[in-house]
């Protein structure tokens, strides 16, 4: 029974090895997190098929993800929104998918991060390709993929070493090997990029406390924004506006409600936005042409916040921001109906 | 469903529990395996299970008619019907758009300005594998080399048996159907060995192919730039390793899973990168496909029975069909054509420049064979001839100003992995994993096994699809 002996040895070593591996990474400050992957997004997208006219969808980029807290929104309106925003993305592909492929005619909140909203309609460019790949995955996902996702969630929530984080915080073998650098054959000037949010099963995202507590950590993220901002391609206002307005008209024609939201940014990033994408030329023009309810954080004292890394709100501020934003929206009768307190 | 997925783990545990629990008799166990196989396939795309049913029904009926019928004309008709349905599926799902594109291109060279409407039909997973498998059954019954399956259940399970359904090995009816006639149960040793093979297969796929090689290969072949010499070689070598570990990994998993149920599937790979020439290669690489092409294409075409020149023509045609089997693109046909040319050149060498293979020149010959095979992978992997040609030129140092796109560590990693792979193939070429494991201390085997599972656990990602599923 030589093989049986080998099997027992292997099992003992594997359990010991994986246990040690997990303990080591936890001792280094890592903990289990859920991956914001295509499957997690698709689960939320699937909810749209059964959503009613009273429901709210959130689309946009990371600012909507970080800044709109689902608990706070639900507390104020009685309904939990469906979070469909995704980091580094234009909201246009997701909005287009909702308009073209669903009968939904409730409220869609469109987050307008100028550098992403007005970035491109090129299907190969990241701000378009990333959200589009999620839309495509939703439409093409197999039953096996759905099952794998359901089975993987309890594991993701239990083991830190299963984290799908990439780059400097990545723990997968591929990521660990990717950190090995020999020489400078391919110059890579991108600063190390830390993961700075934690997502829940319903894609409610909160900024990690460390970003608020540790200035060096926050500065490392700021350096990444500056790196991307430096070589960002020029905006394509004409194409993006035309694409969005066409979908918007179609959505409005079937009775849908759209709200545009400009979430806070601060520091050098806000100054950069003012220079590259001045409000009058981009936001104001969009609002004027869209003819829907629109909220810019600079127009309301209660919506003005300092972002720890210039682009997103801390978890505590996001809670306040959402509460105040919803109050303004409700007061403005921008939602079809609202909870009566 | 992928072997490297959580859903498969749960699925397989349930199958094993139902298979080994004493609640079913043998017939019901086979029914359970058949149902499990349909679920295995259907979890990918349920409606396409219908194709499996049609293929099963058609070949079951054709097989029985062929066995009973004495009239040769009617026998030919039944065979043609089976071929028509199976090849028809293959043509419709896999080659329709390719043929349409080429037709359009030819017509438009005469200035007709024809616009085709590609259908962009979803390619049913593993269609090339199961159609070849069912066709082999019908042809063997036609040639009266085998008896038809005893029951419809046995035949349906042969067509659909989940361990090898979507990417082989392509198993002949005589090797598998007869295993379904008597109750099968793995011994404890077979079960554990099957589990070991499953671990090795997953290690090849998850760690070696997906984690260590895929990114380098994808970066090199996905680049729009003309590459530097080192980057071109690293990318191509990475693909040589990736496709071997991906496909051999799948086959090893399939063999291991079947063994855990008490069934034996044939070897599909025998350390092919230590082949001494190209005839040797095709007896070591994707063995069940190359033997299929030999038995059902090359030999019926005439084989070596009609003189040297025709032998070469038949060889070339067989390899071109082999290339086309892999994918509906001219690059795959070029890949097959290159292998055909290699086989012809090898036969010419044996005829006019024969030499004895020794240990020393053998290693050199193995490296030369591997080098030539590596060049063919460029056509297999590149998206078009232009990219393939650029890659070949870079590998031949004809693009001295090519762009550097890979980091030093990536290049070193690929050369180390490929170097170790070649040495393993060389030292294992005349033996088998089973033989080596029997000579190895259980402690060492246990440690190696543990290291593999540990690496799988820390490397496992979202579950990359196996490359050969697309064929």
Residue B468 has a pLDDT of 56
Instruction: Supply angle C-alpha B60, B62, B64, rounded to 5.
Output: 70
pLDDT at A341 over 70: no
Show Cβ contacts of residue A275 under 8 Å, excluding neighbours closer than 6 positions: none
Q: How do residues B402-416 score in pLDDT, each as one tens digit?
A: 999 999 999 999 999
What would the pLDDT profile of B118-161 be if each residue is shown by its tens digit?
666 677 888 889 999 999 999 999 999 999 999 999 999 999 99
Question: Helix (H, G, I), strand (E, B), or coil: what is residue A257?
Answer: strand
**In angstroms, what separates the C-alpha of B63 from chain A's closest C-alpha?**
34
pLDDT digits (tens, 9 = 90+) for B301-345: 998 888 889 999 999 999 999 998 888 889 999 999 999 999 999
Best of B462, B464, B466, B469 to disrupt the A interface (most A CBs within 10 Å) is B462
Nearest by CB: A186 against B6, B406, B453? B406
Contacts of B443 in chain A (CB under 8 A): 5-6, 9
Among partner residues B45, B405, B446, which is closest to A186 by beta-carbon distance? B405
Task: For residue A1, name the pLDDT band (cuts at 50, 70, 90).
Answer: low
Q: Do B407 and A182 touch (CB under 8 A)?
A: yes
d(CA A112, CA A273): 12
Residue to substitute from B188, B440, B461, B466, interface A, most A β-carbons within 10 A: B461
Contacts with B404 from chain A: Cβ below 8 Å: 185-186
Place of tokens 């100003």: B401
B-facing residues of A in 11-30 (CB < 8 A) are: 11-14, 17-18, 21
Closest CA to B240 of B380, B416, B346, B357: B380
Q: How far apart are CA B336 and CA A219, in angstroms?
A: 55
Contact A174 B459 (CB under 8 A): yes
Q: Is the dihedral of CA B298, B304, B309, B315 positive or negative?
A: positive
Determine, for residues A144 and B462 on separate chains, whether the beta-carbon distance falls below 8 Å: no
Counted across chains A and B, CB pairs separated by less than 8 A come out at: 131
Distance CA B451, CA B471 (A): 32
Q: What average pLDDT is seen over chain B?
A: 91
- Contact at CB, B445 and A21, closer than 8 angstroms: no
pLDDT at A251: 96
What is the structure's pLDDT at B21? 92
pTM of the shown model: 0.90
Interface test with B, best of A4, A7, A25 (most B CBs within 10 A): A7
- State how far the Cα of B66 lies from the Cα of B70, in Å rounded to an integer: 8
* pLDDT recorded at residue B462: 52
Distance (Å, whole) CA B31 – CA B29: 5
- Whether A141 and A291 have beta carbons less than 8 Å apart is answered as no
- Whether B1 sits inside 8 A of A155 (CB atoms) is no
Q: Are A142 and B166 in contact (CB under 8 A)?
A: no
Q: What's the confidence (pLDDT) of residue A340?
A: 43
* Yes or no, beta carbons of B449 and A7 under 8 Å apart: yes
Which chain B residues are Cβ-neighbours of A10 within 8 angstroms?
446-447, 449-450, 453
Please, what is the Cα angle at B144 between B140 and B146, to 5 degrees?
A: 60
Residue of B nearest to A143 (CA): B43
Neighbours of A147 (CB within 10 A): 18
Are A143 and B44 inside 8 Å of each other by CB?
yes
For residue B326, give how far its alpha carbon lies from the nearest alpha carbon of chain A (Å): 24
Considering only CB atoms, which chain A residues are within 8 Å of B6? Answer: 147-148, 151-152, 155
pLDDT of residue B54: 92
Interface residue A190 vs chain B (CB under 8 A): no
> Would you say residue B465 has pLDDT above 60?
no
- Residue B67's alpha-carbon distances to B57, B136, B140, B296, in angstroms, are 16, 14, 10, 19
Q: What is the pLDDT of residue A339?
A: 47
Question: Residue B40: is its pLDDT beyond 50?
Answer: yes
Give me B163's structure tokens: 């361990």
**ipTM over 0.90 threshold:** no
Say yes or no for a CB contact (<8 Å) between A177 and B404: no
The whole-angstrom separation of Cα A309 and Cα A46 is 33
Q: Is B471 a residue whose pLDDT tops 60?
A: no
3-class DSSP state of A108: strand
Percent of chain B's residues with pLDDT above 70? 96
Among A121-135, A184-198, B105-119, the least confident range:
B105-119
Contact B446 A2 (CB under 8 A): no
The answer to whether A172 contacts B458, with C-beta atoms less than 8 Å apart, is yes
Question: Does the beta carbon of A181 lie under 8 angstroms from any beta carbon of chain B?
Answer: yes
Q: Which residue has the higher pLDDT, B104 or B422?
A: B422
Q: Do A174 and B5 touch (CB under 8 A)?
A: no
Residues of A in contact with B413 (CB under 8 A): 177
Measured CA to CA, the distance from residue B272 to residue B264 in angstroms comes to: 21
Please tell me which of the candidates A21, A142, A186 has its beta carbon nearest to residue B404: A186
Could you please report the per-residue DSSP string of B369-412? Answer: HHHHHHHHHHHHHSSSHHHHHHHHHHHTT--TTPBP-S-HHHHH
- Main-chain phi, psi angles of B403, to 5 degrees: -80, 145
CA–CA min distance B445, chain A (Å): 6
User: What integer is the mean pLDDT of B261-276?
Assistant: 95
Output B172 or B469, whichever has higher pLDDT: B172
Min CA distance, B96 vs chain A (Å)? 22
Provide the pLDDT for residue B120.
66
* B193 burial type by CB count under 10 A (0-12 exposed, 13-18 middle, 19+ buried): buried
Distance from CA of B468 to the nearest CA of A (A): 18
Residue A267 pLDDT grade (very low, low, confident, very high; cuts 50, 70, 90): very high
- pLDDT confidence of residue B204: 96
Residues of chain A found within 8 Å of residue B43, distances taken between Cβ atoms: 142-144, 147
| A chain contacts of residue B189, beta-carbon cutoff 8 Å | 1, 3-4
- Model pLDDT for residues B283-295, shown as the tens digit of each residue: 999 999 999 999 9
Using CB atoms within 10 A of its CB, is residue B346 exposed (0-12), middle (13-18) or buried (19+)?
middle
List chain A domain ranges.
Answer: 34-331
Tokens of B386: 């232009």
Taking the alpha carbons of A225, A230, A231, A237 in that order, is the dihedral positive or negative?
A: positive
Quick check: A6 and B189 CB within 8 A? Answer: no
Q: Domain-by-domain residue ranges, chain B?
A: 6-100+117-185, 190-276+357-470
Cis peptide before B204 (omega within 30 of 0): no
Tell me whether residues A10 and B446 touch, CB distance under 8 A.
yes
Chain segment A57-103, per-residue pLDDT in tens: 999 999 999 999 999 999 999 999 999 999 999 999 999 999 999 99
DSSP A76-131: HHSSPPEE---TT--SHHHHHHHHHH----SEEEEE--HHHHTT---TTSHHHHHH
Residues of B labelled catalytic: 326
Of A9, A12, A181, nearest to B409 by CB-CB distance is A181
Return the C-alpha torsion angle B117, B121, B123, B127, nearest 10. -90
Of the candidates B7, B45, B459, the beta carbon closest to that of A173 is on B459
Those residues with Cβ within 8 angstroms of residue B149's Cβ, 6 or more apart along the chain or in another chain? B60, B63, B137, B155, B158, B173, B177
Q: Do A174 and B405 touch (CB under 8 A)?
A: no
Give pLDDT tens digits for A138-194: 999 999 999 999 999 999 999 999 988 888 889 999 999 988 888 888 887 788 888
Q: How far is the first Cα of chain B from the last one, in angstroms, to the nearest whole number?
A: 16
Question: Which chain B residue has its CA at the smallest distance from A154's CA?
Answer: B6
Q: At B85, list the tokens.
A: 């349905």
Answer whether residue A204 shows pLDDT above 90.
yes
- Quote the pLDDT of residue B285: 95
């Amino acid at each position: 029974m030589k093989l049986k002996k080998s099997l027992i040895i292997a099992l003992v070593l594997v359990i010991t090895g994986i246990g040690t591996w997990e303990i080591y990474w936890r001792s280094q400050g890592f903990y289990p997190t859920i991956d914001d992957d295509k499957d997690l997004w698709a689960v939320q997208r699937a909810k749209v098929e059964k959503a009613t006219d009273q429901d709210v969808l959130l689309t946009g980029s990371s600012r909507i993800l970080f800044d709109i807290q689902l608990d706070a929104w639900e507390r104020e309106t009685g309904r939990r929104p469906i979070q469909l925003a995704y980091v580094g993305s234009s909201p246009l592909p997701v909005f287009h998918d909702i308009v073209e492929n669903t009968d939904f005619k409730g409220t869609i909140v469109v987050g307008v991060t100028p550098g992403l909203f007005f970035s491109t309609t090129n299907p190969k460019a990241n701000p378009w390709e990333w959200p589009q790949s999620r839309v495509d995955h939703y439409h093409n996902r197999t039953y096996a993929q759905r099952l794998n996702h359901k089975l993987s969630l309890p594991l993701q929530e239990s083991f830190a070493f299963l984290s799908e984080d990439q780059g400097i915080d990545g723990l997968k073998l591929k990521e660990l090997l990717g950190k090995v650098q020999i020489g400078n054959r391919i110059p890579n000037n991108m600063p190390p990029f830390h993961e700075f949010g934690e997502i829940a099963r319903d894609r409610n995202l909160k900024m990690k406390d460390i970003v608020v507590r540790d200035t060096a950590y926050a500065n490392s993220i700021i350096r990444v924004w500056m790196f991307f901002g430096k070589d960002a391609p020029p905006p394509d206002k004409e194409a993006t506006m035309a694409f969005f307005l066409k979908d918007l008209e179609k959505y409005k024609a079937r009775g849908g409600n759209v709200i545009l939201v400009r979430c806070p940014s601060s520091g050098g990033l806000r100054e950069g936005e003012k220079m590259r994408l001045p409000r009058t030329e981009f936001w104001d023009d969009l609002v004027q042409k869209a003819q829907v309810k629109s909220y810019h954080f600079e127009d309301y004292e209660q919506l003005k916040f300092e972002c720890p890394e210039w682009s997103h709100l801390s978890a505590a501020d996001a809670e306040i921001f959402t509460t105040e934003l919803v109050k303004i929206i409700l007061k403005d009768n921008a939602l079809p109906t609202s909870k009566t307190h | 469903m992928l072997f490297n997925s959580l859903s498969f783990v749960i699925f397989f545990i349930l199958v094993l529990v139902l298979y080994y629990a004493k609640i079913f008799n043998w017939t019901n166990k086979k029914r359970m395996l058949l149902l499990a196989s349909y679920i295995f396939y259907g979890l990918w795309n349920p409606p396409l299970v219908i194709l499996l049913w049609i293929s099963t029904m058609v070949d079951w009926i054709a097989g029985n008619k062929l066995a009973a019928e004495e009239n040769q004309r009617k026998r030919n008709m039944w065979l043609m019907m089976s071929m028509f349905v199976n090849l028809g599926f293959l043509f419709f799902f896999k080659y329709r758009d390719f043929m349409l594109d080429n037709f359009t291109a030819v017509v438009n060279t005469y200035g007709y300005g024809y616009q085709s409407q590609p259908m962009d039909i979803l390619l049913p997973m593993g269609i090339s594998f199961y159609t070849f498998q069912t066709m082999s059954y019908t042809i063997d019954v036609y040639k009266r080399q085998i008896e038809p399956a005893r029951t419809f259940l046995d035949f349906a399970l042969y067509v659909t048996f989940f361990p090898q359904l979507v990417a082989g090995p392509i198993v002949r009816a005589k090797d598998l159907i007869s295993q379904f006639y008597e109750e099968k149960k793995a011994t404890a040793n077979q079960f554990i060995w099957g589990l070991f093979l499953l671990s090795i297969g997953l290690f090849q796929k998850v760690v070696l192919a997906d984690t260590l090689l895929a990114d380098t290969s994808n970066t090199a072949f996905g680049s729009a730039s003309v590459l530097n010499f080192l980057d071109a070689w690293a990318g191509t070598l990475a693909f040589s390793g990736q496709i071997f570990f991906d496909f051999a990994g799948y086959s090893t998993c399939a063999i291991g899973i079947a063994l855990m149920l008490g069934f034996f599937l044939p070897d599909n790979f025998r350390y092919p990168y230590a082949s001494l020439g190209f005839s040797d290669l095709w007896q070591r690489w994707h063995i069940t496909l190359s033997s299929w092409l030999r038995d059902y294409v090359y030999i019926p075409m005439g084989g070596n029975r009609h003189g040297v020149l025709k032998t070469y023509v038949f060889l070339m045609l067989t390899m071109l069909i082999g290339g086309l089997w892999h994918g509906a693109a001219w690059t795959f046909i070029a890949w097959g054509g290159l292998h055909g040319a290699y086989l012809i050149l090898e036969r010419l060498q044996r005829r006019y420049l024969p030499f004895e293979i020794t240990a020393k020149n053998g290693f050199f010959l193995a490296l030369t064979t591997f080098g030539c095979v590596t060049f063919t992978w460029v056509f297999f992997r590149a998206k078009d001839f232009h990219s393939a040609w650029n890659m070949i030129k870079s590998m031949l140092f004809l693009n001295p100003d090519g762009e550097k796109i890979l980091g030093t560590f990536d290049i070193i990693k690929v050369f180390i992995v490929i170097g170790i792979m070649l040495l393993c193939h060389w030292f294992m070429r005349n033996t088998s994993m089973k033989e080596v494991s029997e000579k190895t201390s259980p402690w060492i085997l246990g440690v190696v096994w543990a290291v593999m599972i540990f690496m799988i656990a820390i490397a496992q990602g979202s579950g990359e699809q196996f490359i050969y599923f697309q064929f």
